[in-house]
Amino acid sequence: MIIDREPEQSAHARMGGRPLLLIVDDQPSNIQVLFSIFKDDYDVCMALSGEATFTFLEQRLPDLILLDVVMPEVSGFDVCRRLKGSERTADIPVIFVTANSDPEEEARGLVAGAVDFIVKPFHATVVKARVNTQLTVKRQADQLRAMAMVDGLTGVANRRRFDAVLEIEWRRAAREGGELAVIMIDVDFFKRYNDRFGHLEGDNCLRQVAGALQQRLTRSPDLLARYGGEEFVCVLPATGLNGALILSNELEQRVRALGLPHPDSEAAAVVTVSIGAAAGRPSEGGSAAALLANADTQLYCAKQNGRARVCGQNFSAQGQHGDPVDAAAN
Ligand SMILES: [Mg+2]
């Protein structure tokens, strides 16, 4: 599955704050009733039509939508189908609220993707309980989705997230004509570190290296991920080779500055990393996979040249790469 977006969370999921409820109904009096039920426990917003709902969703993502079925122009069913058809909004639970108690209507609502169907007149306590249940389910699903994107050992993004983000950023840069850089980072002689100190210390080393790398990556679109084993990788949007090399050298120095003793390393007395960087303009062709392969080649080059250093290269879709740069020599 290709995820064509950064995982986007509501305020509730992001900050553990109050859930955000969106009430959609063409009758303000109906909205008032629901608002008074929920205003003490949740942040409540409202929309008076299907179109207003989509406008709202461009700005904010609620944790749950209470949706009227019968509305002029865009019906509640149509709103629900459209929400479920868009990856950005598909995970928002929808509960239909209607005066029509026809089972066929209820079935239509569930087929359209709703999680529940509430028939008016309703009891406030029942509506509250049903909304609470769905919010709990949503919160758990959000947590699972977030965990599925994080590396359990180091807490940075995992490879699945990296693959998704690299694709997104490649396509974005291809559309906008901007640059994109990828850097690959490998801990030098890590097997020897494990052999000498044991796997628990090896894990601790990887956590510290990840922490040192992450501390430097403060620009919001930049992503650090654990690629596997002792390998890390960064996606750097709007970054050319120069910027990637400057950053790579800083990352190399930061890991070295941790001062983790590594007596069996041939590169230094402490834990070090080798880094390969590649940068290019996706609008000129090629693929995200080819850019990544370029960074991997540069990592190999850094290792061949003695490790604990940075190598980089401009990526070209035609396969005519620029001159490799041994940045450690600079
Ligand atoms: Mg209505």
Residues 41-63: tens digit of each pLDDT: 999 999 999 999 999 999 999 99
Ligand 1 mean position, distance from CA 48 (Å): 9
The CA distance from 4 to 2, in Å, is 6
197 has pLDDT over 50: yes
The CA distance from 30 to 39, in Å, is 14
Which of 122, 147, 172 terminates a domain? The answer is 147
The CA distance from 186 to 286, in Å, is 25
Q: Give, as residue ranges, everything with CB less than 5 Å from ion ligand 1.
A: 26, 68, 70-71
Q: Please report which confidence band the pLDDT of residue 190 belongs to, taking 50, 70 and 90 as the band edges.
A: very high
Residue-wise pLDDT for 96-146, tens only, equals: 998 888 889 889 989 999 999 999 888 999 999 999 999 999 999 988 988
Estimate the crossing angle of helix 103-111 against helix 76-85, to 10 degrees.
20
Q: How many CB atoms lie within 10 A of CB 124?
A: 12
Structure tokens at 32: 């008032």
Is residue 17 located within the same domain as residue 101? yes
Ligand 1 mean position, distance from CA 26 (Å): 5
11 has pLDDT over 50: no
Domain that holds residue 166: 159-329
In a domain, 143, yes or no: yes
pLDDT > 90 fraction of the chain, expressed in percent and rounded: 81
Is residue 176 located within the same domain as residue 296? yes
Task: Indicate yes or no: pTM above 0.85.
Answer: no
Mean of pLDDT values over 297-311: 97
The CA distance from 161 to 117, in Å, is 35
Secondary structure class of 288 (helix, strand, coil): helix
Domain of residue 34, CATH code? 3.40.50.2300
Is residue 124 located within the same domain as residue 221? no
State residue 99's pLDDT score.
Answer: 87
Average pLDDT of the chain? 91
Residues tagged active-site: 230
Mean of pLDDT values over 152-172: 95
67 has pLDDT over 60: yes
Ligand 1 mean position, distance from CA 163 (Å): 44
DSSP state of 324: -
Is residue 137 located within the same domain as residue 173? no
In a domain, 238, yes or no: yes
Ligand 1 mean position, distance from CA 98 (Å): 8
Is residue 181 located within the same domain as residue 102? no
State residue 176's pLDDT score.
Answer: 95
In a domain, 216, yes or no: yes
Is residue 216 located within the same domain as residue 325? yes
In a domain, 18, yes or no: yes
Q: Please report which confidence band the pLDDT of residue 263 belongs to, taking 50, 70 and 90 as the band edges.
A: very high
Is residue 48 located within the same domain as residue 80? yes
Q: Using alpha carbons, select from 101, 102, 97, 103 the residue that is nearest to residue 77.
A: 97
Is residue 70 located within the same domain as residue 171? no
pLDDT > 70 fraction of the chain, expressed in percent and rounded: 91
The CA distance from 171 to 165, in Å, is 10
Q: What's the structural domain count of the chain?
A: 2
Under a CB-based contact definition with an 8 Å cutoff, are residues 284 and 321 in contact?
no
